[in-house]
Amino acid sequence: MTLHLNLFIIDTGHHEASWRLPESDPLSHLDIAYHQRIAQIAERAKFDSVFLADSPAQFGDPGRRPSGRIEPTILLTALAAVTSRIGLIATASTTYNEPFNLARRFSSLDHVSGGRAGWNIVTTAGDDAARNFGLDAQPAHVQRYERAAEFVEVSKKLWDSWEDDAIVADKASGVHALKDKVHPINHVGRFFSVQGPLNAPRSPQGHPLLVQAGSSEDGKDFAAKHAEAVFTAQQTLEDAIAFYQDVKRRAVAFGRDPDHVKILPGLVPVIGSTEAEALAAEEELDRLIAPEYARANLAKLLKVPAERLDLDRPLPDDLPTEEEIEGAKSRYTLIVELARRENLTVRQLIGRLGGGRGHKTFAGTPEQVADTIEHWYRSGAADGFNIMPAVLPSGLEVFADQVLPILRARGLFRTEYTGTTLREHYGLPRPANQFELVAV
């Protein structure tokens, strides 16, 4: 068994100041050829998949960093045209979509790519998104997850609504598909009423790979019941091990094979030929952070006025509790605990978050990065990693050229793809069709 590696692509890199470096193209977030080049580098390096985040609201302050986004399933279709093996994962919200449209979109991506599609299921925190859809505020956290659970249930029914052998394309008889193998789903639930069937045959993977990224109690239950890969933010090895064991245990309680739930913590590597060189590169990026903008973002996440966050003092003592947060509960707790544990000032916390928004950042040599990855993997903290280069594409190129050879020499990462679908890369089975099971 070897590591699974996903590449998280975000414009010029995950450090919020990466676009200000001389090497960076500040318009790359709208450049199809740029994204295609990155996907091709990742495929040559034999990554399992690439991943695009998304939100149904403006991403950050457009005055301060690249914030426009091409809709990810459209962008991944362009990446599918210039790659042949690497998986293609897109974020889409269950709160601000409908199951039929989204199930069709991901089924289409799976067909177009030959079985390489994945869906990162999010419930979307924040009132900004709600106001784009006629709501005054975001639905409650519990309600968002209840809707998400039914959304996934409906999507699976739609993906299964055509049996695998429904299409016969018999020219002689004039029969293209066997109608008794194409099923209305007739779903009526709390949130959705959907007749079906899907207006697309079952795709190569049966279902796109299901990914989830929430780490709240509701999020962990949802991941354990539905997800096949989990992207998570963990700052310490101890917390990562606890999370890993917790989600796997919950998966068993839901009657699932825990090996079919892959846990991938985020890692933001800054790599140099020496440790001093890596630290200097990290410090250069941190110096380019606009502190007032970053403070405003932090205040919004913490639900406090920005003027209460003194840049050169620790966080206030009287912050809201996690129970009072209706947005990204787990990320809120991670950030507050990081600041308290390391006694960081607001300025220092902003620097830590500027690189990875709560994901683990690590500056070091290729050997040190490989050591960290191996240690977490062998300690039972991860099945692989969500690699988030601070700067793109250079950070990916260095990781591919200098870190991966070390991991391969240690027998920890593939030298070639052995399958053609994303599920095969992750060692996951193709799901049985629930309508065929009923027929038996």
pLDDT tens digits, residue range 253-263? Answer: 999 999 999 99
What is the structure's pLDDT at 410?
97
Which pLDDT belongs to residue 409? Answer: 98
| Count of CB atoms situated within 10 Å of the CB of 375 | 12
What local confidence, expressed as pLDDT, does residue 347 receive?
Answer: 76
In a domain, 292, yes or no: no
Cα–Cα distance, 228 to 247 (Å, whole number) = 11
CATH number at residue 120: 3.20.20.30
Q: How many domains is the chain built from?
A: 1
Q: What is the CA radius of gyration of the chain?
A: 22
Of 325 and 30, the structure prediction assigns the larger pLDDT to 30
Q: What is the pLDDT of residues 113-155, one digit of tens each?
A: 999 999 999 999 888 899 999 999 999 989 999 999 999 999 9
CA–CA distance, 216 with 401 (Å, rounded to integer): 36
Q: Distance between CA 315 and CA 69 in Å, rounded? A: 32
8 Å CB contact between 262 and 213: no
Report if residue 45 sits inside a domain: yes
Residues 347-365, mean pLDDT to the nearest whole number: 76
- The verdict on residue 81 lying in a domain is yes
pLDDT of residue 327: 56
Q: Which residues contact 318 (CB under 8 A, 6 or more apart)?
A: none
Pairing of strands 384-387, 360-364: unpaired
Range of the domain at 424: 4-270+359-439
Task: Work out the mean pLDDT of the chain and round it to a whole number.
Answer: 91
Instruction: Supply the pLDDT for residue 17.
Output: 87
Q: Is the pLDDT of residue 85 over 80?
A: yes
332 confidence band (pLDDT: 50, 70, 90): confident
Is 338 part of a structural domain of the chain?
no
Q: What's the whole-number mean pLDDT along residues 291-308?
A: 77
pLDDT of residue 235: 84
pLDDT at 59: 72
Name the nearest CA neighbour of 264 among 412, 367, 376.
376
* Residue at 132 is within a domain: yes
Residue 347 CA to residue 94 CA, distance in Å, equals 35
pLDDT digits (tens, 9 = 90+) for 157-186: 999 999 999 999 999 999 999 999 999 999
The whole-angstrom separation of Cα 25 and Cα 186 is 49
On the question of pLDDT at 331 being above 90, the answer is: no
pLDDT at 438: 61
Please indicate, yes or no, if residue 86 is contained in any of the structural domains.
Answer: yes
Task: Decide if 251 is inside a domain.
Answer: yes
Task: Confirm whether 231 is domain-assigned.
Answer: yes
User: Which residues, 6 or more positions from 127, have their beta carbon under 8 angstroms from its beta carbon?
Assistant: 136, 137, 138
- ∠ CA 72-43-155 to the nearest 5 degrees? 40
Of 431, 348, 361, 331, the residue nearest 15 (C-alpha):
361
Give tens-digit pLDDT for 374-421: 999 999 999 999 999 999 999 999 999 999 999 999 999 999 999 999
